[in-house]
Amino acid sequence: MNQYVGHESQLYGIEEHRLVGGKGDGMRLFEINNGKGIEFTVSPDRNGDITRLRFKGINMSYMSPCGYVAPAYYDSIGANWLNSFTAGFLTTCGLNGVGTPCVDEGEEIPLHGSIANQPCEQAYYYEEEGSLIIKTVTKDETIFGRKLRLTREISVSVRENVFTITDTIENTGGKREPFEILYHMNMGYPLLDEDSVITIPSTKVTGRDDHATEDIDNWMNMEKPQADYQERCYYHEFADGKGIATIYQPKLETSLTIAYDATSLDGFTEWKMMGVRDYVLGLECGNCYPDGRAAMRESGMLKFLNPGEKKTYSVTITLK
């Protein structure tokens, strides 16, 4: 025990709050502070995703104009997912689908799936030697359909500015199920502006469509906010299995690095959106690309879980 400290929250800790007012009214929030510079917010009413992320008082993430939206407002029709897209640092896409709405083998798949709008069945936190731990369980299960469960652990060090998100997805049903996941991580101002330096040591970069391809030489160059900007998405491939992406803001001398196993999460999407107030850079690793489940099935990239089978993914974020 530190003899100078009355309560450990003087140094670091986790506090639980509830929102009052607006579309987020009543939502639980876990506020995490590692005492070294990392502060972030976990939303157990939205799959244990991470909304705000700050480092040494500087905002790192993008908060969409929607703000906090409780899961009761979720609309699964088509692209209406956008009406409750808080963004934040992390919105998890999946598990029934990622990306473009589509019909896959007779099943209507909405934009980016439904998991991000599901409240956790369990959510709790504790401290163990050198780390603060948040654990959540979210069920993406339905009668006559998919039965997928996501168990999440977020571990943040109190000794260095690193945190890791580890997810285990389990098929709790009786038939083989397709599943997709994409970690929609969103960088925002002031970490992100036209001076930001983006480093992604990929061996191949592909534009998602003609609009992106025509400007592919500028995939790493950020711009000032522009009216009527049309998003550009780039797909990155890594030859050595080491997925990594860094954004550095020279004016703040601050960086954020995402690292993961690119043999497991074999799809990486860079979402470049330089709009007015819609100003965000997505650095998004996943086990697919956001072209819709039907397209992933056709390409052979779609993943499956047998009954009782589990798959674990891990993403580490380092701030400097």
CA distance 37 to 163: 12
Task: Provide the Cα torsion 14, 18, 21, 25; round to 10°.
Answer: 120
Buried b (16+ CB within 10 A) or exposed e, 116-148: bbbbbeebebeeeeebbebbbbbbbeeeeebbb
pLDDT score, position 68: 97
* C-alpha pair distances (Å), 120 with each of 9, 41, 42, 83, 124: 25, 15, 11, 20, 10
pLDDT in tens, 254-305: 999 999 999 999 999 999 999 999 999 999 999 999 999 999 999 999 999 9
Amino acid at 292: G
pLDDT in tens, 65-98: 999 999 999 999 989 999 999 999 999 999 999 9
- 17-319: in CATH 2.70.98.10: yes
**Mean pLDDT across 108-117:** 96
CA distance 230 to 252: 28
pLDDT score, position 2: 87
Q: What is the pTM of this model?
A: 0.97
Domain edges within the chain: 17-319
Give the pLDDT band of residue 44 (cuts 50, 70, 90): very high
pLDDT score, position 1: 76
pLDDT score, position 177: 97
pLDDT in tens, 150-200: 999 999 999 999 999 999 999 999 999 999 999 999 999 999 999 999 999
Amino acid at 5: V
Indicate the average pLDDT of the chain.
Answer: 97
Number of H helices, E strands in the chain: 2, 24
pLDDT in tens, 197-217: 999 999 999 999 999 999 999
Adjacent-strand bridge partners of 318? 162, 257
CA distance 187 to 63: 9
Helix H segments across 163-235? Answer: 210-213
